[in-house]
Amino acid sequence: MSKKRARHTVPFAALTHVGSVRALNEDSLLALPPLYAIADGLGGHQSGEVASALAIDALRKAAPKQPDAVGLARAVQIANQAVIGGIAKGVGREGMGTTMTAVMIAPGHAVFAQVGDSRAYLLRNRSLSQVTEDHSVVGAMLRSGSITAEEARRHPQRAVITRALGSDPGLNVDTYDVTVLRGDRLLLCSDGLTTMIEDSEIEAILTTSLDPNHAAEKLVQAALDAGGNDNISVIVIDITEDQGASATAVAAMKHKKPRSKLWLWALVWLALVAAVLVGIYFATMSYVEERSYLSTGDSGIVYIHRGLPGAILNFHLTLATSPTFVEMDRLAPEYQARIEMKPSFQSVGEALSELETMVRRSPDYFDTAEYLIERGLINVDVQVPRGGSSGLPGSTGGGSAGAGASPESAPTDGEAAP
């Protein structure tokens, strides 16, 4: 029954028929996997078959190498220019035009580009849905809800389309990017099918005909049985494991995507927490390094420290320690009591100045206070080796220490002085 037919080893079938009324088949088809297209030459004009053939040929040449909606739409626009250019060159006749519905299939998705009222459908789980929207007068009325699908099928203006290739150089092309799964079936068809039979019948044929060739034949036969008032073209494409992502793979991707985002967020949060902790560490160490305090131990002398008494998480805050020449039992009792409390100061200089005051005001030091102070209460600086023993208690001592004390015997916070 078919006039033009293409059979291939991949699971698709392309079939077109002149119908029962028209003398000429003005539809043109392209089935060049992964690209498939139907163009329906405008029946109301002369040379519809020229327009559809020009458009299909231009589409074939201009289609992107990989399925891409923007690239496919651009190819349809080039096909539009080819039809317009054909008119200018005298190929065909003034006013010729054509619809164009094209699809390119990639693993996991299909991209569609469409102008006019040739349709694309998706059959999934025995349920048919229309991918494209008709650019026709009745299509607009149907979308607005002013007529029903059945009324649209019988409407006197059902053949009037509102957008076609061949007239407007700035043609708008609708595109769709649809996820496809293994087991899905795609249908492209001209209005010679959809004006003759209902979607429910298309759905039933596509569902019950396992072989795409049988499905295509049955669809065309059903349109012929209904009257065959127009040229009838169908392309049935089965999505196989190679073409479409399997449901399992898609499900895995759905689970994988949020997980990868979760890792990203976790890394961002870890980086932020690390940055905050490092900031806190350096701010704390900067503060601790400036501070100083006094203490004593079993050796009976006063020690001066850089840092703070105590520890955080077993992390000692005393950065350096030096013995002084000041003996505890020669200080006034109130000063001895104060030093037992480990008084803290803004700086080593402030701590030293305070200790000098204590020495001057202690009666046992009245005779020797100035001599002792001039000589220096400590014989070494309490320096902090940055990046060295930072955070670890230690002595900077060296040389001789007063009052029989030795640097090695300097107590550190939390440890008993020898």
Give contact residues for Mg ion (rule: CB under 5 A): 40, 190-192, 230
What letter represents residue 122's amino acid? Answer: L
Residue 41 beta carbon to Mg ion: minimum distance, rounded to whole angstroms:
8
Residue 118 beta carbon to Mg ion: minimum distance, rounded to whole angstroms:
8
Contact (Cβ atoms closer than 8 angstroms) between residue 152 and residue 138: yes
The nearer residue to Mg ion, 36 or 345, going by C-beta atoms, is 36
The nearer residue to Mg ion, 40 or 217, going by C-beta atoms, is 40
16: part of which helix (H) or strand (E)? strand 12-17
The nearer residue to Mg ion, 145 or 156, going by C-beta atoms, is 156
Task: Report the C-alpha gap between 14 and 255 in whole angstroms.
Answer: 37
The nearer residue to Mg ion, 132 or 318, going by C-beta atoms, is 132
15: nearest Cα among 228, 236, 197, 234: 234
Residue 243 beta carbon to Mg ion: minimum distance, rounded to whole angstroms:
28
Task: Report the C-alpha gap between 403 and 401 in whole angstroms.
Answer: 7
Name the residue with tokens 């060296």: 398
Contacts of residue 226, defined as CB under 8 A and 6 or more positions apart, other chains included, come to 196, 197
CB atoms within 10 A of CB 386: 10
The nearer residue to Mg ion, 158 or 306, going by C-beta atoms, is 158
Contact (Cβ atoms closer than 8 angstroms) between residue 158 and residue 136: yes
The nearer residue to Mg ion, 110 or 189, going by C-beta atoms, is 189
3 state SS of 118: coil
The nearer residue to Mg ion, 136 or 295, going by C-beta atoms, is 136
What letter represents residue 141's amino acid? Answer: M
Residue 40 beta carbon to Mg ion: minimum distance, rounded to whole angstroms:
4
Residue 4 beta carbon to Mg ion: minimum distance, rounded to whole angstroms:
15
Residue 127 beta carbon to Mg ion: minimum distance, rounded to whole angstroms:
26
Residue 195 beta carbon to Mg ion: minimum distance, rounded to whole angstroms:
8
Task: Report the C-alpha gap between 259 and 302 in whole angstroms.
Answer: 61
Task: Report the C-alpha gap between 375 and 139 in whole angstroms.
Answer: 105
Task: Report the C-alpha gap between 134 and 124 in whole angstroms.
Answer: 21
